[in-house]
Structure 1
Amino acid sequence: MAQSGIDYGGMMHRAMQRLIADVLRGVIQNGLPGEHHFFITFDTRDDGVEMADWLRERYPEEMTIVIQHWFDNLTVDEDGFTITLNFGNSPEPLRIPFDALRTFVDPSVEFGLRFETQEAGSDDEEDEDEQIELGDSDRNGDDGPDDPPPGGGEVVQLDRWRK
């Protein structure tokens, strides 16, 4: 079916994915500068997501990873990225397609992107991608899981950054 207009939402979605790919490629080349770190939430049900069975069982729908102190084997390609993170002293490789991303947040500079899932045929502007607004007061408090895995595999909830 031919489109009758410009797909701004789809174009913005792809541009945001390219931005994240460029940021991750910069980390591969130069490491994480200063206080930069990332919370990346993704849909674990996406066909292209590769992760250990025990992680998929623990996070059957959505998972947030933290790229900060310890990570290894970060690679980026046209469709997504791979990374090894440490979950309870167990290094686990992950493959995350860009299409599986739900949020990307760098709280050190109050930057965030949210990828909204769009229903087929939906023209509602509220379904388009939007930017997450972060504030200093929103970073206080403990909204993370009760028992975070040690060693850099912390999974956090992003509700504290949502308005």
Structure 2
Amino acid sequence: MSDKFDGDGPIGETGEDEAGLPASLLPYERWVEDAYRQVMVKALCFARDEGLPGQHHFYLTFLTSAPGVGIPDRLRAQYPQEMTIVLQHQFWDLKVDASDAVMSVGLSFGGIPSTLVIPFAAITGFADPQVRMVLRFTPPAEETAAAPAQLPHSRPSPAGLAAAEDASRDKPAGEDAPADSTPQVVSLDAFRRRGPGN
């Protein structure tokens, strides 16, 4: 085999990508994204084990129709493609299963307690606005249709609801939820970290 690039490969005639950089035969982009997903998982595990310190809170954006996503039908109808949730004061029963690459969390939508099951592969964005940390993920290229995950038939514990209500009452002025308490899809553009040259 020749050490020279002959121009017949998938990279193109020059051996460079569109930006003029040498093409890599190693999947660095995928490895970096996998590492960023592990940062997200560690942050979720920390929140599960220790709670969220200070003003840290998470925005999670996920594909509602991705395989393994389990959300109530009313939410799937309202958000047929993508949904952003906020983990801050009023969530409960956060579970993170790194071996199965899935999380679940209890949230209230319009006053109705709900459990969401979200595979890590369905998550397209993770942000902690407190530190302007924003991670964007590419959805899996080969998504196959699968039945939504079965939701557990558990309701939030009274202690979990009481803690959420207490946290809501203890919020500083200006952090009150809208009167209708309908879920809001949040744009993450304001928190997106810019790379070199952007």
Fold shared, TM-score > 0.5 on shorter chain:
yes
Q: Among 41, 65, 77, which residue is 2:97 paired with? A: 77
In 2, distance between residues paired with 1:50 and 1:75? 14
TM-score (norm 1): 0.73
Per the TM alignment, residue 116 of structure 1 is displaced from its structure 2 partner at its CA by: 2.7
Q: Secondary structure at the match of 2:181?
A: coil
Contact 1:148 1:154 in 2 (8 A): no
Runs of 4+ with deviation above 6 angstroms: none
In 2, distance between residues paired with 1:107 and 1:67? 11
Q: Letter of the 1:106 partner, please give it.
A: D
Percent of aligned pairs with the same amino acid: 40
In 2, distance between residues paired with 1:12 and 1:54? 35
In 2, distance between residues paired with 1:148 and 1:97? 31
The equivalences for 1:120-139 within 5 A come to: none
Q: Over aligned residues, Cα RMSD in angstroms?
A: 2.3
Per the TM alignment, residue 150 of structure 1 is displaced from its structure 2 partner at its CA by: 1.7
Cα distance change of structure 1 residues 149 and 43 upon mapping to structure 2, 3 Å threshold: farther
Per the TM alignment, residue 118 of structure 1 is displaced from its structure 2 partner at its CA by: 6.7
Q: Among 9, 16, 41, which residue is 2:61 paired with? A: 41
TM-score (norm 2): 0.61
Any stretches of 5+ residues in structure 2 without a counterpart? 1-23, 143-177
Per the TM alignment, residue 92 of structure 1 is displaced from its structure 2 partner at its CA by: 0.5
User: Are 2:37 and 1:6 equivalent residues in the alignment?
Assistant: no
Which residue number in structure 2 is paired with residue 138 of structure 1? Answer: none
Contact 2:110 2:181 in 1 (8 A): yes
Higher gyration radius (CA): 2
Which residue number in structure 2 is paired with residue 18 of structure 1? Answer: 38
User: Are 2:99 and 1:99 equivalent residues in the alignment?
Assistant: no
Task: Report how many aligned residue pairs link the two structures.
Answer: 133
Q: Secondary structure at the match of 1:102?
A: strand
Per the TM alignment, residue 5 of structure 1 is displaced from its structure 2 partner at its CA by: 2.6
In 1, distance between residues paired with 2:132 and 2:30? 24
Which residue number in structure 2 is paired with residue 150 of structure 1? Answer: 181
Per the TM alignment, residue 160 of structure 1 is displaced from its structure 2 partner at its CA by: 3.8
Q: Secondary structure at the match of 2:89?
A: coil
In 1, distance between residues paired with 2:34 and 2:51? 24
